[in-house]
Amino acid sequence: MFNNIIKGLQAYPRALTLLSTLKLWKYFVIPIVISVVVAIAVAFAAYGWSDNVGAIIAKIWIWEWGKETFITIGTFLGGLIILVIGLILYKHIIMALSAPFMSPVSEKIEAHLRGATTVRKSEASFQTLLWRGIRINLRNLIKELLLTLPLLLLKFIPGVNIFSAALLFLLQAYYAGFGNMDYTLERYYMFNDSVRFVQKNRGVAIGNGIGFLLLLLIPVIGIILVLPLSVTASTISTVEVLDPNMVSKND
Protein backbone atom coordinates (compact mmCIF):
# COMPACT_ATOMS: atom_id res chain seq x y z
CA MET A 1 0.00 0.00 0.00
CA PHE A 2 2.68 2.53 1.05
CA ASN A 3 4.81 1.79 -2.03
CA ASN A 4 1.81 2.33 -4.29
CA ILE A 5 1.04 5.65 -2.59
CA ILE A 6 4.61 6.74 -3.32
CA LYS A 7 4.21 5.63 -6.96
CA GLY A 8 1.08 7.74 -7.27
CA LEU A 9 2.93 10.78 -5.93
CA GLN A 10 6.09 10.20 -7.98
CA ALA A 11 4.10 10.56 -11.20
CA TYR A 12 3.57 14.30 -10.60
CA PRO A 13 7.05 15.56 -11.60
CA ARG A 14 6.81 13.42 -14.74
CA ALA A 15 3.36 14.85 -15.41
CA LEU A 16 4.69 18.39 -15.46
CA THR A 17 7.27 17.39 -18.07
CA LEU A 18 4.72 15.53 -20.22
CA LEU A 19 2.31 18.46 -20.24
CA SER A 20 4.94 20.56 -21.99
CA THR A 21 6.45 17.80 -24.13
CA LEU A 22 3.08 16.75 -25.61
CA LYS A 23 1.69 20.32 -25.64
CA LEU A 24 -1.35 19.24 -23.66
CA TRP A 25 -2.16 22.51 -21.91
CA LYS A 26 -4.60 23.58 -24.64
CA TYR A 27 -6.80 20.54 -23.96
CA PHE A 28 -7.34 21.69 -20.39
CA VAL A 29 -8.80 25.13 -21.15
CA ILE A 30 -12.45 24.11 -20.70
CA PRO A 31 -11.77 21.87 -17.63
CA ILE A 32 -9.82 24.75 -16.04
CA VAL A 33 -12.77 27.10 -16.63
CA ILE A 34 -15.07 24.50 -15.05
CA SER A 35 -12.69 24.19 -12.09
CA VAL A 36 -12.54 27.96 -11.50
CA VAL A 37 -16.32 28.49 -11.81
CA VAL A 38 -17.16 25.60 -9.47
CA ALA A 39 -14.50 26.71 -6.95
CA ILE A 40 -15.96 30.25 -6.84
CA ALA A 41 -19.49 28.88 -6.40
CA VAL A 42 -18.40 26.55 -3.57
CA ALA A 43 -16.45 29.35 -1.85
CA PHE A 44 -19.47 31.66 -1.85
CA ALA A 45 -21.72 28.86 -0.57
CA ALA A 46 -19.26 28.02 2.21
CA TYR A 47 -19.04 31.67 3.26
CA GLY A 48 -22.83 32.05 3.34
CA TRP A 49 -23.62 28.80 5.15
CA SER A 50 -20.86 28.62 7.77
CA ASP A 51 -22.62 30.98 10.21
CA ASN A 52 -25.92 29.13 9.80
CA VAL A 53 -24.37 25.76 10.53
CA GLY A 54 -22.43 27.29 13.42
CA ALA A 55 -25.65 28.64 14.92
CA ILE A 56 -27.25 25.19 14.73
CA ILE A 57 -24.24 23.64 16.49
CA ALA A 58 -24.32 26.38 19.15
CA LYS A 59 -27.89 25.45 20.09
CA ILE A 60 -26.58 22.17 21.48
CA TRP A 61 -25.17 24.15 24.44
CA ILE A 62 -28.25 24.94 26.55
CA TRP A 63 -26.45 26.56 29.50
CA GLU A 64 -25.67 30.27 29.81
CA TRP A 65 -22.16 29.87 31.19
CA GLY A 66 -19.59 29.42 28.46
CA LYS A 67 -22.19 30.04 25.76
CA GLU A 68 -20.16 32.68 23.91
CA THR A 69 -17.16 30.36 23.82
CA PHE A 70 -19.28 27.52 22.49
CA ILE A 71 -20.79 29.82 19.84
CA THR A 72 -17.27 30.68 18.69
CA ILE A 73 -16.34 26.99 18.59
CA GLY A 74 -19.62 26.19 16.81
CA THR A 75 -18.97 28.82 14.14
CA PHE A 76 -15.48 27.42 13.56
CA LEU A 77 -16.76 23.84 13.31
CA GLY A 78 -19.60 24.99 11.07
CA GLY A 79 -17.10 26.59 8.71
CA LEU A 80 -14.95 23.46 8.80
CA ILE A 81 -17.90 21.19 7.99
CA ILE A 82 -19.01 23.40 5.11
CA LEU A 83 -15.43 23.61 3.83
CA VAL A 84 -14.97 19.83 3.86
CA ILE A 85 -18.33 19.15 2.23
CA GLY A 86 -17.67 21.96 -0.25
CA LEU A 87 -14.32 20.42 -1.18
CA ILE A 88 -15.98 17.05 -1.69
CA LEU A 89 -18.64 18.57 -3.93
CA TYR A 90 -16.09 20.64 -5.86
CA LYS A 91 -13.93 17.59 -6.47
CA HIS A 92 -16.69 15.37 -7.82
CA ILE A 93 -18.42 18.08 -9.85
CA ILE A 94 -15.29 19.08 -11.77
CA MET A 95 -14.24 15.47 -12.37
CA ALA A 96 -17.71 14.50 -13.61
CA LEU A 97 -18.10 17.48 -15.95
CA SER A 98 -14.52 17.20 -17.23
CA ALA A 99 -14.78 13.49 -18.13
CA PRO A 100 -15.48 14.04 -21.88
CA PHE A 101 -12.38 16.24 -22.14
CA MET A 102 -10.04 14.21 -19.93
CA SER A 103 -10.46 10.76 -21.49
CA PRO A 104 -9.06 11.84 -24.91
CA VAL A 105 -6.12 13.53 -23.15
CA SER A 106 -5.48 10.35 -21.18
CA GLU A 107 -5.46 8.43 -24.47
CA LYS A 108 -2.81 10.73 -25.95
CA ILE A 109 -0.63 10.34 -22.87
CA GLU A 110 -0.95 6.55 -22.94
CA ALA A 111 0.03 6.44 -26.62
CA HIS A 112 3.19 8.39 -25.77
CA LEU A 113 4.05 6.25 -22.73
CA ARG A 114 3.65 2.96 -24.55
CA GLY A 115 5.76 4.21 -27.44
CA ALA A 116 3.18 2.86 -29.83
CA THR A 117 1.19 4.44 -32.63
CA THR A 118 -1.90 2.54 -31.61
CA VAL A 119 -3.36 1.98 -28.17
CA ARG A 120 -6.82 0.94 -27.14
CA LYS A 121 -9.08 3.67 -28.49
CA SER A 122 -12.10 4.99 -26.67
CA GLU A 123 -15.26 4.37 -28.66
CA ALA A 124 -17.43 6.33 -26.24
CA SER A 125 -19.22 9.47 -27.39
CA PHE A 126 -19.14 12.81 -25.57
CA GLN A 127 -22.51 12.03 -23.96
CA THR A 128 -21.40 8.55 -22.92
CA LEU A 129 -18.22 9.85 -21.31
CA LEU A 130 -20.16 12.59 -19.52
CA TRP A 131 -22.73 10.09 -18.22
CA ARG A 132 -20.01 7.72 -17.01
CA GLY A 133 -18.25 10.62 -15.28
CA ILE A 134 -21.48 11.68 -13.58
CA ARG A 135 -22.32 8.12 -12.61
CA ILE A 136 -18.97 7.23 -11.08
CA ASN A 137 -18.60 10.55 -9.27
CA LEU A 138 -22.16 10.43 -7.95
CA ARG A 139 -21.43 6.96 -6.58
CA ASN A 140 -18.20 8.18 -5.01
CA LEU A 141 -19.84 11.35 -3.66
CA ILE A 142 -22.49 9.39 -1.77
CA LYS A 143 -19.98 6.93 -0.35
CA GLU A 144 -17.54 9.67 0.62
CA LEU A 145 -20.21 11.73 2.39
CA LEU A 146 -21.42 8.68 4.34
CA LEU A 147 -17.85 8.05 5.54
CA THR A 148 -16.99 11.72 6.08
CA LEU A 149 -19.85 12.65 8.43
CA PRO A 150 -18.80 10.20 11.21
CA LEU A 151 -15.21 11.44 10.91
CA LEU A 152 -16.39 15.03 11.30
CA LEU A 153 -18.29 14.08 14.46
CA LEU A 154 -15.09 12.59 15.89
CA LYS A 155 -13.58 16.08 15.77
CA PHE A 156 -15.63 16.88 18.89
CA ILE A 157 -13.55 14.34 20.84
CA PRO A 158 -10.16 15.74 22.02
CA GLY A 159 -7.21 13.57 21.02
CA VAL A 160 -9.27 11.45 18.66
CA ASN A 161 -9.77 14.45 16.36
CA ILE A 162 -6.10 14.27 15.32
CA PHE A 163 -6.59 10.78 13.90
CA SER A 164 -9.93 11.70 12.35
CA ALA A 165 -8.26 14.58 10.47
CA ALA A 166 -5.66 12.21 8.99
CA LEU A 167 -8.33 9.67 8.00
CA LEU A 168 -10.43 12.44 6.49
CA PHE A 169 -7.49 13.59 4.37
CA LEU A 170 -6.75 10.05 3.13
CA LEU A 171 -10.44 9.48 2.38
CA GLN A 172 -10.61 12.64 0.30
CA ALA A 173 -7.40 11.66 -1.46
CA TYR A 174 -8.68 8.18 -2.31
CA TYR A 175 -11.82 9.41 -4.03
CA ALA A 176 -9.94 12.17 -5.88
CA GLY A 177 -7.52 9.58 -7.26
CA PHE A 178 -10.42 7.24 -7.98
CA GLY A 179 -12.05 9.75 -10.32
CA ASN A 180 -8.78 10.54 -12.08
CA MET A 181 -7.92 6.88 -12.68
CA ASP A 182 -11.25 6.24 -14.38
CA TYR A 183 -10.33 8.54 -17.27
CA THR A 184 -7.86 5.82 -18.31
CA LEU A 185 -9.85 2.81 -17.12
CA GLU A 186 -12.81 3.89 -19.25
CA ARG A 187 -11.02 2.41 -22.27
CA TYR A 188 -10.47 -0.95 -20.60
CA TYR A 189 -13.25 -1.70 -18.13
CA MET A 190 -16.97 -1.42 -17.70
CA PHE A 191 -18.22 0.56 -14.69
CA ASN A 192 -18.17 -2.23 -12.07
CA ASP A 193 -14.84 -3.65 -13.25
CA SER A 194 -13.30 -0.17 -13.05
CA VAL A 195 -14.50 0.14 -9.45
CA ARG A 196 -12.92 -3.19 -8.55
CA PHE A 197 -9.65 -2.22 -10.26
CA VAL A 198 -9.35 0.98 -8.21
CA GLN A 199 -10.25 -0.83 -5.00
CA LYS A 200 -7.49 -3.35 -5.71
CA ASN A 201 -5.01 -0.51 -6.38
CA ARG A 202 -6.24 1.96 -3.78
CA GLY A 203 -2.68 2.94 -2.85
CA VAL A 204 -2.12 4.41 -6.33
CA ALA A 205 -5.42 6.28 -6.05
CA ILE A 206 -4.49 7.70 -2.64
CA GLY A 207 -1.07 8.81 -3.89
CA ASN A 208 -2.62 10.62 -6.83
CA GLY A 209 -5.29 12.12 -4.60
CA ILE A 210 -2.74 13.42 -2.10
CA GLY A 211 -1.12 15.37 -4.93
CA PHE A 212 -4.58 16.61 -5.97
CA LEU A 213 -5.32 17.95 -2.47
CA LEU A 214 -1.87 19.47 -1.99
CA LEU A 215 -2.27 21.40 -5.25
CA LEU A 216 -5.53 22.86 -3.96
CA LEU A 217 -3.64 24.29 -0.98
CA ILE A 218 -1.88 26.67 -3.39
CA PRO A 219 -4.01 29.85 -3.47
CA VAL A 220 -5.72 30.58 -6.82
CA ILE A 221 -3.18 28.83 -9.04
CA GLY A 222 -4.00 25.49 -7.38
CA ILE A 223 -7.48 25.32 -8.93
CA ILE A 224 -5.89 26.01 -12.33
CA LEU A 225 -3.17 23.38 -12.09
CA VAL A 226 -5.05 20.66 -10.23
CA LEU A 227 -6.72 18.95 -13.20
CA PRO A 228 -3.85 19.11 -15.72
CA LEU A 229 -1.30 17.75 -13.25
CA SER A 230 -3.45 15.22 -11.41
CA VAL A 231 -5.03 13.74 -14.55
CA THR A 232 -1.67 13.44 -16.32
CA ALA A 233 -0.04 11.92 -13.23
CA SER A 234 -2.93 9.51 -12.81
CA THR A 235 -2.67 8.35 -16.42
CA ILE A 236 1.04 7.65 -15.96
CA SER A 237 0.55 5.57 -12.80
CA THR A 238 -2.60 3.81 -14.05
CA VAL A 239 -1.03 2.76 -17.36
CA GLU A 240 1.96 1.39 -15.47
CA VAL A 241 -0.35 -0.71 -13.30
CA LEU A 242 -2.18 -1.97 -16.39
CA ASP A 243 1.13 -2.83 -18.07
CA PRO A 244 3.87 -3.45 -15.44
CA ASN A 245 6.36 -4.35 -18.17
CA MET A 246 5.97 -1.02 -19.92
CA VAL A 247 9.20 0.86 -20.49
CA SER A 248 8.56 4.57 -20.93
CA LYS A 249 11.40 5.32 -23.31
CA ASN A 250 9.69 8.43 -24.59
CA ASP A 251 9.05 9.90 -21.13
DSSP-derived secondary structure for the chain: -HHHHHHHHHHHHHHHHHHHHTT-GGGGHHHHHHHHHHHHHHHHHHHHHHHHHHHHHHTT--SSTTHHHHHHHHHHHHHHHHHHHHHHHHHHHHHHHHHHHHHHHHHHHHHHHHT-S--PPP---HHHHHHHHHHHHHHHHHHHHHHHHHHHHGGGSTTHHHHHHHHHHHHHHHHHHHHHHHHHHTTT--HHHHHHHHHHTHHHHHHHHHHHHHHHTSTTHHHHHHHHHHHHHHHHHHHHHH-TT---TT-
What average pLDDT does the segment 18-33 reach?
92
42 vs 183 pLDDT, higher one: 183
Residue 64 pLDDT class (50, 70, 90 cuts): low
| Predicted pLDDT of residue 124 | 75
Instruction: Select the more confidently predicted residue: 165 or 231.
Output: 231
The pLDDT score that the predictor gives to residue 93 is 95
pTM over 0.95, yes/no: no
